[in-house]
Each structure stands twice: as structure tokens, then as C-alpha cells.
């Protein structure tokens, strides 16, 4: 028996996501195979926390990486005056989100579109942008371009809300983990001022109790 053979091997090795980010095809595959761990059938609790604090009062709202639409629907229900543009790269997710909006009679105020956020450019400006679990999937290169786009999308003195996995989450599965210093530096470089950053949980079906995450409010 060789030395290598004597070293215990994990049955489920953890692949650490680093500067290369998550491969884009992963998201299309996850929806096609009904294995999207971030789809819980309800809005993220951290989104509801931000909503209760009035962080979505300034419109219109841009929801980036809207998935199946639960966050956008919850916000629109509580803010009947708010117009929302929700965008996701996966057509299957967008179709589901449109069904959610139709069932909640939100079609006229919430528009849902397909858009690759690595190359997306909104045609209007927004008082608030929501990113509930997008920033942490990008490569270093794509992250820079993405945040520059977010900064262009936000009206002067508008806000951007980010909910991303933090480096306090050590369990397997999921995107890259972001340290406080890393996320603050990336936002600052894009022209944002950090108004608030605090620990929160990001609900997934793969992380009982939710994954350790950051809830960030940044001002343009």
C-alpha cells in the first residue's frame, strides 16, 4: 500500500470556490435538475429585515439575480407604490418568477426579464438595487465589471443592498465566502460608501439554519 493509499479520503470532497467564481452553467443546470439550493419558496429573511427598516422605500427597485421571484414579490406587496425590475440569467427561473407575480396580481408593477448579469446594462436608473446572493458567485474579473454596472444603475445617493455568504460559513456547498474587508473594499472601489454591514443568515436547502452571510447597505 502506498502512502497516498493510506491517507483517508473524504467521500464528499469540498470544492472551495475562489477567484475563478462559480461556473455560469451551474445555475442553468441547477434549475433544469430542480437542485437550486437557493430556491426555498419564500423570501430571504434578511430581505424582510431590510424591508422592515425602510431600505426599499426609494424606487424604482432593481432586483438582480431575482431567481424565482419571492424577494421581489414580498417587497412589492409591502410597498404598493413601488415599481420593480427583476432580472435573472436563467429563463426557467424567470418564467417561474412571472408566474409568482401573476398569481399575486403584481404583473403591472413588477417586470421580470432574462439578463446575463455579467453583461447586463439597465436602460433606466433606480433608487434601490437588491443583490440577494449574486456578488458572491462572480470571478474577481466579473465582480469588478458587475459592481461598476450596479453603481451606474443607482441614482445619486441611492442605495444598494447586498446579502452574500461570509467567511464565517465553513460548511460545504455554496459559492465563495467573502470576508468583511473584501466586500467593503470591492464596494468602495466601485464608488459606494458602506452605511451598514452586519452578520445575517442566507437560507438554502443545503445549510440547515441558514448559511453565515453579510447584510450590507451601501450608498452611491
Q: Determine the pLDDT at residue 8.
A: 37
From the options 3.40.30.10, 1.10.3720.10, 3.30.565.10, 3.40.50.150, give the CATH code of 37-210: 3.40.50.150
pLDDT at residue 11 is higher than 70 = no
Tens of pLDDT along 91-104?
Answer: 999 999 999 999 99
Tens of pLDDT along 137-148?
Answer: 998 889 999 999
Q: What is the mean pLDDT of residues 79-83?
A: 97
What DSSP character marks residue 166?
B
Rounded CA separation 216/102 (Å): 30
For the packed helices 70-78 and 45-52, what is the interaxial angle rounded to 10 degrees? 20
Arithmetic mean of pLDDT over the chain: 90
Rounded CA separation 87/212 (Å): 25
Domain ranges of the chain: 37-210
Please tell me the total number of residues recorded for the chain in this structure. 220
Distance of CA 97 to the CA centre of its chain: 15
DSSP H/E element including 212: strand 207-219
Q: Determine the pLDDT at residue 68.
A: 97
Cβ atoms of 163 and 202 within 8 Å: the answer is yes
Tens of pLDDT along 149-179?
Answer: 999 999 999 999 999 999 999 998 889 999 9
Cβ atoms of 214 and 168 within 8 Å: the answer is no
Amino acid at each position: 500500500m502506498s502512502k497516498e493509499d493510506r491517507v483517508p479520503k473524504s467521500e464528499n470532497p469540498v470544492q472551495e470556490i475562489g477567484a475563478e467564481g462559480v461556473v455560469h452553467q451551474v445555475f442553468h443546470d441547477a434549475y433544469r435538475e430542480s437542485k437550486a439550493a437557493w430556491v426555498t419558496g419564500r423570501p430571504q429573511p434578511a430581505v424582510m429585515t431590510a424591508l422592515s427598516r425602510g431600505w426599499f422605500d426609494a424606487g424604482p427597485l432593481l432586483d438582480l439575480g431575482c431567481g424565482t421571484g419571492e424577494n421581489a414579490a414580498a417587497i412589492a406587496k409591502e410597498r404598493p407604490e413601488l415599481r420593480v425590475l427583476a432580472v435573472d440569467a436563467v429563463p426557467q427561473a424567470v418564467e417561474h418568477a412571472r408566474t409568482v407575480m401573476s398569481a399575486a396580481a403584481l404583473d403591472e408593477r413588477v417586470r421580470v426579464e432574462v439578463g446575463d448579469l455579467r453583461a447586463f446594462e439597465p436602460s433606466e436608473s433606480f433608487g434601490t438595487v437588491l443583490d440577494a446572493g449574486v456578488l458572491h458567485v462572480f470571478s474577481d474579473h466579473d465582480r469588478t465589471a458587475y459592481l461598476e454596472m450596479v453603481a451606474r444603475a443607482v441614482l445619486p445617493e441611492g442605495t444598494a443592498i447586498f446579502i452574500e455568504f461570509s467567511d464565517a460559513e465553513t460548511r460545504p456547498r455554496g459559492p465563495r465566502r467573502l470576508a468583511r474587508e473584501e466586500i467593503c473594499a470591492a464596494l468602495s472601489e466601485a464608488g459606494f460608501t458602506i452605511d451598514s454591514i452586519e452578520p445575517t443568515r442566507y437560507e438554502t436547502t443545503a445549510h440547515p439554519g441558514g448559511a453565515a452571510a453579510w447584510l450590507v447597505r451601501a450608498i452611491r
